[in-house]
Structure 1
Amino acid sequence: MKFDMHTHHFRCGHADGTIRDYIEAGIDAGLQVIGISDHTPYFGIPEEQPFPGIAMAKSEITGYVDEVLRLKKEYEGKIKVLLGIESDFFPEVAEVYRKALAAYPFDYIIGSVHQVNGVSIFNKNRWNKLSPAQKVADKEAYFDLIRQSARSGMFQIIGHMDAMKGNYPAFSEIIADEAIEETLKVIAECGVAIEINTSGKTKLCGGWYPSNAILEVAHFHGVQVTFGSDAHTPSRVGDEFEEVSRVLKEIGYTEWVYFEQKQKVAVPL
């Protein structure tokens, strides 16, 4: 059984195609389940749409939800369409996000850390002039935020958990093994899944999030996994699903999961 929990579309301002385009691409890719999970608006900022090229406006979320639910009915019997969303995690406004998202019948919410100390994790210039100790501190701060997001109870899936390497491949060489292992322990204790996100191939790191080494530790601690292409163009829906499945089997996983009405559905590998 093939599924993809992480897809975007034009509303976020940096993806191509309509929701229908992604559903049709999922059918073409042989998926039985597709999750639509565009970026949340910036609920914690007063402006209607402070970053048009990053996320949808606050006024667009109801239309987004309605469209997904309408297409879910239309494609019933052809492919299961799930209503998801990818939410930023900002501890200082987490309750604002929790309240805003509770108004909608999401099948699942992906929690993703996109900023550390107010700077995008994908900004490769953030590392310029940092000492080795400062680089370690930034990496540890990143994983601390992921731990907080897991403990928040807001999310079913942790998004791209080492994506800070995306445009800075040397991130993987910064030693913070204790922070990573503690993060995986917390995720396991909280019953949250992590996604294997294949969009790293579109960044400088050229690999999945998280790395195979992290996945091995995740398996050791009993962390459940799911699949997400993080497609920003329909052609990437389901990208590398079979390869991810093969690697997970080699690591020792026997199943992965997706979420419907915020309940885990186990799928044998």
Structure 2
Amino acid sequence: MKFDLHTHHDRCGHAEGHIRDYIESAVEHGLQVIGISDHSPYFGEKEDQPWPGIAMARSEFDRYIEEVLRLKEEFKDRIEVLLGVESDFFPEHAETYRAIYARYPFDYIIGSVHKSDGISIFNKKRWTHLKESEQVRQKELYYGLIRQSAQSGMFQILGHIDAMKGYYPPFSDIPTQAIEETLRVIGQNKLAIEINTSGKMKDCGGWYPSDAILERALHYGVSATFGSDSHVPDRVGDEFDEVKRKLKEIGFKEWVFFRQKERVIVPL
């Protein structure tokens, strides 16, 4: 079975194509399951769309849900369409997000940390002139947020858990036990982490997370899933077979997707 749980579309302001385009691409690429998971609005802000090029407007959220559900029904004889969302995680606004998500029939929610210490994790300038001790602190702040997201009970999947390396590859070599502790917490809370193939288009040139992190994730009993993080329809399912082979090499026997927030096990 071939699936992809992480796709975007034009509502977020930095992806191309409509939801239908991603579903049709999934059919063309031989997928049996496609998840739609655009960036959630910034529900903790007063403005309808405070950052138009980053996430959809609050006023678009109901229309987003309605469109996915309509297309789920339309395509039901060709492919299974899952309703998801990629949610930012802000501890101070977690209850606001939780209450809003409870209104909708999500198959899964991806929890992703995109800001740490008030700065985008993809802002390479954040590392300029930092001493090693401050680099360690920044890495530990990032993984502290991921641990909190794992403990929040809001998510089924955690997104791109080492994406901070995206435009700063040395991030991976900053010494800390924070990743080890984070994987332990993720395993305890029975969440899945995605293997996200979009990292190859960043400076780090590889998937999220690294093979080394996947090996430790297996040790802690963390489940894996797949997400292309496609922002153009042609990337749906990108490198699915390569990821599958790598997981088998590492020692995984299965991976998962989610339907009505219940995990569906897929043998590798």
TM-score w.r.t. structure 2 length?
A: 0.99
| Secondary structure, counterpart of 1:161 in structure 2 | coil
CA-to-partner distance for each residue in 1:191-224, whole Å, 9 max, x for gaps? 1100000000111111000000000000011100
Match of 1:232 in 2: 231
Shift of 1:129: 1.6
Q: Aligned partners of 2:92 and 2:135: how far apart in 1? A: 23
Shift of 1:100: 1.2
Letter in 2 for 1:2: K
Q: How many residues align?
A: 268
| Secondary structure, counterpart of 1:134 in structure 2 | helix
Q: Aligned partners of 2:188 and 2:81: how far apart in 1? A: 29
Pairwise mapping of residues 59-208 of structure 1 onto structure 2 (< 5 A)? 59-176=59-176, 178-208=177-207
Match of 1:215 in 2: 214
Letter in 2 for 1:149: S
| Secondary structure, counterpart of 2:17 in structure 1 | coil
Shift of 1:109: 0.2
RMSD, matched Cα: 0.5
Q: Aligned partners of 1:54 and 1:102: how far apart in 2? A: 23
CA-to-partner distance for each residue in 1:95-130, whole Å, 9 max, x for gaps? 011111111111000000000100000000000121
Q: Aligned partners of 1:48 and 1:101: how far apart in 2? A: 17
Shift of 1:257: 0.2
Shift of 1:175: 1.0
Q: Aligned partners of 1:164 and 1:235: how far apart in 2? A: 25
| Secondary structure, counterpart of 1:76 in structure 2 | coil
Q: Aligned partners of 1:8 and 1:206: how far apart in 2? A: 21
Unaligned runs of 5+ in 1: none
| Secondary structure, counterpart of 1:194 in structure 2 | strand
Alignment of 1:18 onto 2:18: yes
Shift of 1:226: 0.2
Match of 2:263 in 1: 264
Letter in 1 for 2:137: A
Runs of 4+ in 1 over 3 A off after TM superposition: none
| Secondary structure, counterpart of 1:144 in structure 2 | helix
Letter in 2 for 1:111: G
Q: Aligned partners of 2:36 and 2:99: how far apart in 1? A: 21
Unaligned runs of 5+ in 2: none
Query: Kindly, what percent of the aligned residue pairs are identical?
Result: 68
